[in-house]
Amino acid sequence: MTHARDAVAQRIEDPSRPLPLVARISDWSAEDAPSLEDWLTGNSELLEPTRVRSAMAGGRALLLLDGLDELGKVRINKMTKEVYDPRPRFLKLIPEKNQVVITSRSEDFEAIGERVNLKGAAILRQVDDSQMASYLQNYPELQAVLRADDALRKMIRTPLLLSIFTYAFSQRGNSANELVSLSDSGELRDRIFGVYIERRYKHERLKPHAQVGFSLSEVEDLLGQIPIENVLESENSVDRRDVEGVLEGPTGDEFVELARRLHLLVGERDDRWRFIHLLLRDYFAFRYALPRVNERATVSDVDALRSIGALGELRDSRALGALLYALQASDDVVQSHAAMWSKVMLLRLLAN
């Protein structure tokens, strides 16, 4: 974002510099597969199509394309039922001319098996122990917790997660010590985000003239209903249809605004948002899916099937009991889904 902001400022000062074109790759429709020019101009009323096409044709554009990994790895064509990976399709659109910056998680980019004709690549390293110590120099109790817990230290080696951990536990005395006993990564994730959300919510409620129309439990329950499809399709996006499936009308807008103030969702457009981190998406998806499998495994239910699939994709060993319970379902489809993901989970546990 800093690079994009600087590029825009430089362009304003010097119109001869490349035209910055900033976009989130997750907004590109793999099924419709629009050209890069159509997609970029169609996403913004501020971009003049003629100017964009002219700049790209002349090699005078700076394409800043964020989040290749968030496009998802599995899609199904609604008409042909073809299963495909949308990421290589997008990479084929990248022009040889112009300046281009594409961001992606490194493991996702390696998994694509497709390369872009760019001049180089940079991999952002994780926060190391000395950087953590420097960041937490005013919180010796948090430093002590991290020194004692390898799993926790490994989990928060990104600036965002380190800041979330610090915000959640910096004013809670020795409560961070409870994390040391949580060896499971899912439990660690849930505890950190649970405390973070609780503190953000209390902070919002204490603001003068605060308008918080939803309880904390309502926020967690409603956000839990949204990300199941995200997990199934390896995406991290929330559009207006997702919200309207939970809340309609002005109430839905009020809920999204609250989620943004709580720094749980960030806006990409007026009708599209995303969770601030994939782990937060997984936190809400797991909280929603697990009880649905436990409660509805004995009946034929689309929600149970989707929840079984989400738990399987999350690869969280805590879900194994629920998946094994779902094997007792009266519906054959529920049984087959549960059997498949139970096998995957057991093989993963044995491998570890």
Report DSSP state, residue 95.
Answer: -
Using one digit for the tens of pLDDT, what is the confidence trace for 197-229? 999 999 998 888 777 889 999 999 888 888 777
Q: What is the pLDDT of residue 135?
A: 93
Q: What is the pLDDT of residue 201?
A: 94
CATH 1.25.40 holds for 280-351: no
CA-CA distance, 231 to 246, in Å (whole number)?
17
Query: Six-digit token pair at 231?
Result: 């997990």
Using one digit for the tens of pLDDT, what is the confidence trace for 84-105? 788 888 888 888 788 888 888 8
Using one digit for the tens of pLDDT, what is the confidence trace for 30-88? 778 888 888 888 765 556 778 888 888 888 888 888 888 877 777 666 666 677 788 88
CA distances from 174 to 112, 143, 155, 192 (A): 44, 11, 20, 14
User: What class does CATH assign to 216-276?
Assistant: mainly alpha
Using one digit for the tens of pLDDT, what is the confidence trace for 304-328? 778 888 888 888 888 888 877 777 7
Q: What is the pLDDT of residue 198?
A: 93
Task: Provide the whole-model pTM.
Answer: 0.74
Q: What is the pLDDT of residue 183?
A: 60
Q: Where in the chain is the domain with CATH 1.10.10?
A: 216-276
Confidence of residue 330 (pLDDT cuts 50, 70, 90): low
Q: Where in the chain is the domain with CATH 1.25.10?
A: 280-351
CA-CA distance, 98 to 54, in Å (whole number)?
11
